[in-house]
Amino acid sequence: MTLKIKTILTTLLVVLTISFSNYSSAQSNGFEIIKGMELMDQIYEHLEKYYVDDIKAGNLSKVAIDAMLKDLDPYTVYYHESNIEDYRLLTTGQYGGIGSLIRKNGDYVYITEPYEGKPAETSGLKAGDKILEIDGKSMKEKSSSEVSTALKGPKGTSVDVHVERQGSEKTITVNRDEIKLPDVPYSGMLKNKVGYIKLNSFTQTASADVKKAFVSLKEEGMESLVLDLRGNGGGLVIEAVRIVNMFVDRGQVVVSTIGRVEDENRVYKTTEEPMDLDIPLVVLMDGGSASASEIVAGSLQDLDRAVIIGSTSFGKGLVQRTYDLDYGSKVKLTIAKYYTPSGRCVQRLEYYDREEGKRPEAVPDSLITIFKTKNGREVIDGRGIEPDIDVEKEEFSRLTATVFSNNFIFDFATDYYYKHPSIAAAGDFKLSDAEYKEFEDYVLKQDFTYSTASEEILKKMKEAAEKEGFYEGASAEYEALLEKVVPSKERDLDKFKSEIVELLENEIVSRYYFQNGRTEHAFNYDDDMEEVFRLFQNLEEYNTILGN
């Protein structure tokens, strides 16, 4: 057996051994494991000997492992040694690089938002810069992930980024640094002495950052608090427990985990004295809030300590653990489900007992169970965390989605930045009617098409009517109605002006005030926050919701 094949098989064997060791059913699976390994051995050996071209053994092994794990659930992941920076970013929020968001736009990737004070920004890279080359290598038709990999590297190394900006080209040398994405990108005092903390992730510093922001807000006179977990995909369970501990007594169960391996059956309790047991507290959630976010929101809801506002969370009730493998690689495995204090598991999708090739399905309604909070309120499992106050969100129109996805908003904001040296403060900036007219004129010059949902439904109705023989008698009415719902760029740019302006203003603000500016500006259009302010002005309703 060749050394390459032995290396591949060793890696696969380690993954499989971890997956099946300590399970009581391991013996019954033993034959299938050995059979599978032998077949893998034979396939690799034949590829090595007879395949028409030289095989890339390392790449084949990674593809094989990824395919094997993909059959389980999307959270069980193999980290090849070349992708270990992705793992670091997930657990610590840190990576070696230049510190900037990037986005694919046509054949090239663009700088979309340099992080304030990080190497990309301090070196002179700006939002809207088209990345032509990195260290002399063309980036044309490269994916965002390929460009990201090229920009990353150890602290202290440099990278030459050749960009196109407003029709001219220049090369900017950026000295890479250790980039730490902040868990709390923004906190501040809002009107009516409402404190606000935005938590983006649960890395190793999450609870410390939240506590620091909380103390600062208390010193400013905060009388109520909103913890914003919208879009927060989760992270470390222990950090979620520590954040909950800020608002509930020591010794309180926050979350329990139960897996097939008995050692993974754990109960996480608060261990410290709380920071504030009485401050009115709201947690904001949406469909992007998952995992550790749902632990925080779910436990505070079960303990009747916070009102949840927004929309139903993602529904990830699974716990992962990472194991070290040989050659600097790692594997992250789902090892348990977690349960909030009331006993519910929020997992929405079933990945396990499904037919081969079938998509996972939601837990059926017949299996949904009702649980009780500390004060006797009813909550359910299997559906994520449902908010106490559900704020309806209107979906963007097809035109707005098209204008955004085609980068018309991004490109217009870039041109706007170079024409306007300064703008009003982030929270005060408003686009004038004349400036919006400029945007309309710009969009109307672009070549794009879109359809409305109403148009698509009408066309399907026509097909059905034709099959059933009804269309001929209703053709005039159909054509008249169709005329009113077919896309009209001029009409729809006016009709959906308010939602386009919201996105356009926010993108322009980011050019001058970065991420903090985005957050401050977004408050002007935030329906969830309007509900927060309303509720905190009516503490009787707040207490009624919690059953106090």
The string of DSSP letters for 340-380 reads -TTS-----EE-SS--TTPPPEEPPGGG--EEE-TTS-EEE
pLDDT score recorded for residue 352: 67
**SS3 label, residue 171:** strand
Phi-psi region at 517: left, alpha or beta (left = phi > 0; alpha = psi -120 to 50):
alpha
Q: Which of 19, 100, 291, 311 is catalytic?
A: 291
Rounded mean pLDDT of the chain?
A: 90
User: Is residue 480 very low, low, confident or very high in pLDDT (cuts 50, 70, 90)?
Assistant: confident
Other C-beta atoms lying within 10 Å of the C-beta of residue 69: 20
- In the chain the first and final C-alpha atoms are separated, in Å, by 70
Q: What is the DSSP string of 372-414?
A: E-TTS-EEESSS-PPPSEEPP-PPPPHHHHHHHHTTHHHHHHH
Q: Which domains does the chain have, with CATH numbers?
A: 3-71 (no CATH), 94-180 (2.30.42.10), 186-393 (3.90.226.10), 398-450+489-534 (no CATH), 453-485 (no CATH)
Catalytic residue status for 316: yes
Determine phi and psi for 535, rounding to 5 degrees.
-65, -45
Catalytic choice (118, 130, 316, 332): 316
Cα Rg of the chain, angstroms: 27
pLDDT class for 353, splitting at 50, 70, 90? low
Task: Tell me what percent of the residues of the chain surpass a pLDDT of 70.
Answer: 93
- Say how far residue 288 (Cα) sits from the centre of its chain: 6
Cα 126 to the chain's mean position, in Å? 24
- Higher-confidence position of 329 and 220: 220
pLDDT given for residue 14 in this prediction: 46
21 band by pLDDT with thresholds 50, 70 and 90:
very low
φ, ψ of residue 521 to 5 degrees: the values are -70, -40
DSSP 178: E
pTM: 0.86
Of 281-295, 349-363, 419-433, 526-540, where does mean pLDDT reach its minimum? 349-363
The per-residue b/e assignment along 34-47, b for 16 or more CB within 10 angstroms, e otherwise, is: eeeeeebbeebeee
Q: Which of 214-228, 371-385, 485-499 has the lowest mean pLDDT?
A: 485-499
Single out the residue of 531, 534, 535 nearest to residue 546, CA to CA: 535
- Encoding tokens for residue 329? 């690689």
pLDDT in tens, 299-322: 999 999 999 999 999 999 999 998
Residue 218 has pLDDT above 90, yes or no: yes
Is 384 a residue whose pLDDT tops 70?
Answer: yes
pLDDT at position 357: 62
Place of tokens 């993602």: 314
CA dist 46 → 3, 40, 60, 67 (Å): 14, 10, 13, 20
For residue 495, indicate whether it is catalytic.
no
pLDDT given at position 351: 82
The Cβ of residue 334 has, within 10 Å, a number of other Cβ atoms equal to: 19
Q: How is residue 188 written in tokens? A: 């501040």
CA angle at 135 for the pair 130 and 140, rounded to the nearest 5°: 40
Q: Angle, nearest 10°, between helix axes 408-419 and 497-522?
A: 60
